């Protein structure tokens, strides 16, 4: 597995080794021993989530506060997404900075997002199926969010926001300056 570091400390892009031949391909999408050896982290993932969306759907920006913040390992099983995170770690030199990466069924990349980040994505293909692992269970009482259109973040979602399909809940999320952040 190849590990690509990003400009924000702790964010990693993981590229699996693909074994292909005339029959198709095979790869390990997750192996705890390999994961620990290449990332230096032992993470106990306890919950898997999967979502299907159509083109121009924008989900996010979501996170969970303490006591149940979540590390996530994201990948696209079908289609292509633009996956975005915002650093919410108050002591981080990159607090309030965002980073995006294209995840697709074709590139098979995975995005490791540590606790302390808001996460969201936009769908670039006709449909996309997204799968992710979490190291803490969903906890409604710990939910947090930042508005995807916060002008201070100036996120490039790779879609025209006029065409974005966004939930009422995500439209109502606070701007970063007003968000409740407890990590």
What is the spatial distance between Cα 122 and Cα 58, in angstroms, rounded to a whole number?
4
pTM for the whole thing? 0.94
| CATH superfamily, region 2-178 | Jelly Rolls (2.60.120.10)
Residues 59-73 have pLDDT tens digits of 999 999 999 999 999
Give the integer Cα–Cα distance in Å for 61 and 113: 13
User: What pLDDT is stored for residue 183 in this prediction?
Assistant: 84
Cα atoms in the 13 Å half-sphere on the side-chain side of 115: 20
pLDDT for position 32: 92
Annotation marks residue 62 as catalytic: yes
| Mean pLDDT over each residue of the chain, to the nearest integer | 96
- Candidates 63, 121, 132, 148; catalytic one: 132
Tokens representing 57 are 């759907």
Q: Which of 25, 62, 97, 148 is catalytic?
A: 62
Q: Which pairs with CB-CB distance under 8 Å and at least 24 residues apart come from 104-108? A: 104/76, 104/79, 104/80, 105/76, 105/77, 105/78, 105/79, 105/80, 106/80, 107/15, 108/15, 108/16, 108/18, 108/27, 108/29, 108/75
ω before 61 within 30° of 0 (cis)?
A: yes
Q: What is the pLDDT of residues 79-128, one digit of tens each?
A: 999 999 999 999 999 999 999 999 999 999 999 999 999 999 999 999 99
Omega within 30 of 0 (cis) for the link into 89: no
Is there a catalytic annotation at residue 132? Answer: yes
Q: Show me where the domains of the chain are located.
A: 2-178
């Amino acid at each position: 597995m190849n590990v690509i570091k990003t400009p924000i400390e702790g964010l990693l892009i993981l590229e699996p080794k693909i074994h292909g031949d005339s029959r198709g391909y095979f790869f390990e999408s997750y192996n705890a021993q390999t994961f620990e050896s290449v990332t230096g982290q032992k993470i106990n993932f306890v919950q898997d989530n999967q979502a299907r969306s159509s083109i121009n759907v924008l989900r996010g920006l979501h996170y969970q506060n303490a006591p149940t913040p979540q590390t996530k390992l994201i990948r696209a099983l079908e289609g292509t997404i633009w996956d975005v995170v915002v650093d919410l770690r108050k002591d981080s030199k990159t607090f309030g900075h965002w980073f995006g990466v294209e995840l697709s069924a074709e590139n098979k990349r995975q995005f490791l997002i540590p606790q302390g980040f808001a996460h969201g994505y936009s769908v670039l293909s006709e449909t996309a199926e997204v799968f992710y692992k979490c190291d803490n269970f969903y906890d409604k009482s710990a939910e947090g969010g930042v508005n995807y259109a916060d002008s201070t973040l100036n996120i490039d979602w790779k879609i025209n926001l006029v065409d974005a399909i966004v939930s009422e809940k995500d439209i109502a999320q606070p701007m970063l300056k007003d968000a409740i952040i407890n990590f």
